[in-house]
Amino acid sequence: MTTATDPLLEQFLADHAAERLESYKELVRIPSISALPEHAADCRRAAEWIAADLERSGMDHVEVSETGGHPVVYADWLHATGAPTVIVYCHYDVQPVDPLDLWTSPPFEPVVEGDRILGRGVADDKGQLHLHLRAIEALLATRGRLPVNLRIVFEGEEESSSVHLDRWLEANRGRLAADFALISDTGFFDGNIPSITVGLRGLMYAQIDVTGTAVDLHSGSYGGTVDNPANALARIIAGLKDGDGRILVPGFYDDVVELTEEERERLRELPFDEAAYLEHLGLPALHGEPDYSTLERRGARPTLDVNGIWGGFQGEGAKTIIPAHAHAKVSCRLVTAQDPGRIFAAFRDHVLAIAPRGVRVEVRDLGGGHPSLTPIDHPATQAAARALAATFGRDPVYIREGGSIPVCATFERTLGLPVVLLGFDPPDQRAHAPNEWMDLGNYETGIRTIVRMWDEVARLEPADLGG
């Protein structure tokens, strides 16, 4: 399925195939879990590994740059006089690996099975980061230059809401001048159809803490006289959403921009097999707002979901108590033009308004990010479409993804940059779950697509890009 770029570059890639796979595995072996403090040194090690790789390839100003959290890897190559400049973003951090017993092989010991490589981060997002490294290496080795100017921004906190990145971007604004940003952290459409993502949802993440007495109570001695924090929490959660998936927080939908008829039509045209989707999930039925299709609900409608709920007795057998406290983590996926800060405030106010009187309720903001919509007709998006078409032998489809990449909106809002989301993950890659895998065909073809992308962008005038 791979079509050749230029002969010298193809020869280089062919000569280095084994080395490339070994290097990919080496990066995956570093357990750079950003959420867990005990892996902070591993995050730094991953950053240093990447910096050394960029240095070897011949990039300039390679730096493991401090953020206050896990470092950003910055590098640039700015010798393509007159050609556009692009910021390339990927993340080297990964999600935690639990539940460990469901992995068929250890998460940080990557293995190749047929066309697949298995391991934490092989798809999200180390595989994509690594294919950029290999495209840069191959271009500099065979041509001695890049077709465009690149500024690399590889971060280590994406899976933890990129808490320090916005400030780093502000502080480094001076060396981030570019015509657009390219993010490789998305994937292909169902059926592994090459895709360009043009919509990402935002996120609001909160924790609800319900507290009763200082210690658990005997449920016989006190039952009927006091409220129960777990019951109270259940009543609160029941008051957040109706049975059809409509969110009951007042004002929640105020800023939601509805899909246009044309956008709905475009979603209807995607080759989506709802029966196969349901079968793959192994569920008795799908669920959500009845007036919207499954793809509309996934890409263009906001959500509210309980991510975790705990409290009281969890052991074997029976223990008759009224628990002292109960908790839930609740998140909302947001769409244009919902604002995570305003949604948190509306959510908190609603929870406190419906909170039962006999318990204490606290609501905490655990972070989030803005939604984003990127333009299909932007010349950089169209360059990506041509690069995909030339490499995969078919035109890409344009999709709206349900997931979030907080930096996407920051690039647009803070740096004023258009963003192209060009990613290569297979659609069912088990990101964040046990047995995450990457399609090695997508990875290899991804390298060629990136090479073609830079060649395509080199043909654009900075003026075409609005620069």
Q: By the criterion CB under 6 A, which residues form the site for ligand BES? A: 124-125, 158-159, 161, 185-186, 203, 369, 401, 403-406
> Could you count the other beta carbons within 10 Å of the beta carbon of residue 400?
22
- Nearest approach, Cβ of residue 404 and Mn ion (Å): 9
Element containing residue 77 per DSSP (H, E): strand 72-77
Residue 293 or residue 404: which is nearer to ligand BES going by CB? 404
Q: How far is CA 183 from the centre of its chain?
A: 10
- Among ligand BES, Mn ion, none, the one that 179 touches (CB under a kind-dependent 5 to 8 A) is none
Asked if 105 and 118 count as a contact pair (C-beta separation under 8 A), the reply is yes
Radius of gyration of the chain (CA): 24
What type of residue is 463? A
Residue closer to Mn ion by CB (options 91, 448) is: 91
The residue among 148 and 408 lying less far from ligand BES, judged by its C-beta, is: 408
Label residue 82 left, alpha or beta by phi (over 0 means left) and psi (-120 to 50 means alpha).
left
In sequence order, what DSSP letters do the residues of 4-24 get, joined into one string? PS-HHHHHHHHHTHHHHHHHH
Nearest residue to 304 via CA among 344, 259, 263:
344
Q: By the 8 A CB rule, do 94 and 52 touch?
A: no
What are φ and ψ of residue 273, in 5° steps? -105, 95
- Shortest approach of Mn ion to residue 252 CB, angstroms? 25
Task: Tell me the two tokens of residue 406.
Answer: 């907080």
| Alpha carbon 26 to chain centroid, angstroms | 22
CB of 42 to ligand BES, least distance (A): 17
Report what 5 binds from Mn ion, ligand BES, none; CB cut-off 5-8 Å by kind: none
Is residue 242 classed exposed, middle or buried when 0-12, 13-18 and 19+ CB atoms within 10 A define those classes? exposed
Give the whole-angstrom CA distance, residue 93 versus residue 84: 29
Name which of ligand BES, Mn ion, none residue 401 binds, using a CB cut-off of 5 to 8 Å depending on partner kind.
ligand BES
Q: Write down the least CB distance from residue 337 to Mn ion, Å.
A: 23
Q: For residues 369-383, b (16+ Cβ closer than 10 Å) or e, as one string?
A: bbbbbbeeebbbbbb
C-alpha torsion sign, points 192, 290, 231, 340: positive
> What's the distance, Cα to Cα, between the start and end of the chain in Å?
36
C-beta of 416: minimal distance to Mn ion in Å?
23
Q: How far is the CB of 90 from Mn ion (least distance, A)?
A: 8
| Whether 392 contacts 445, CB under 8 Å | yes
139 or 203: CB nearest Mn ion? 203
Decide the pairing of beta strands 202-211 and 360-369: antiparallel
Q: Which is nearer to Mn ion, 42 or 125 (CB)?
A: 125
Q: Which is nearer to Mn ion, 153 or 230 (CB)?
A: 153
Toward ligand BES, which CB reaches closer, 99 or 317? 99
Could you tell me the smallest distance in angstroms from the CB atom of residue 157 to ligand BES? 9
Q: How far apart are CA 406 and CA 398, in angstroms?
A: 20
299 binds, among Mn ion, ligand BES, none (CB under 5 to 8 A by kind): none
Report which residue type is found at 210: V
Nearer Cβ to ligand BES (89/252) = 89
Residue closer to ligand BES (CB basis): 391 or 404 = 404
By C-beta, is 142 or 449 nearer to Mn ion?
Answer: 449
Instruction: Compute the least distance from the CB of residue 27 to Mn ion, in Å.
Output: 15
Go through the chain and tell me how many residues it has: 467
How far apart are CB 423 and Mn ion at their closest, in Å?
8
Name the binder of 54 from Mn ion, ligand BES, none, CB < 5-8 A by kind: none
Closest residue to ligand BES: CB criterion? 403
If contact means CB under 5 to 8 A according to the sort of partner, which of Mn ion, ligand BES, none does residue 323 touch?
Answer: none
The binder of 451, among Mn ion, ligand BES, none, by C-beta within 5 to 8 A per type, is none
- Residues of this chain that interact with Mn ion (CB under 5 A) are 124-125, 185
Contact partner, 157, from Mn ion, ligand BES, none, Cβ < 5-8 Å per class = none
CB of 94 to ligand BES, least distance (A): 9
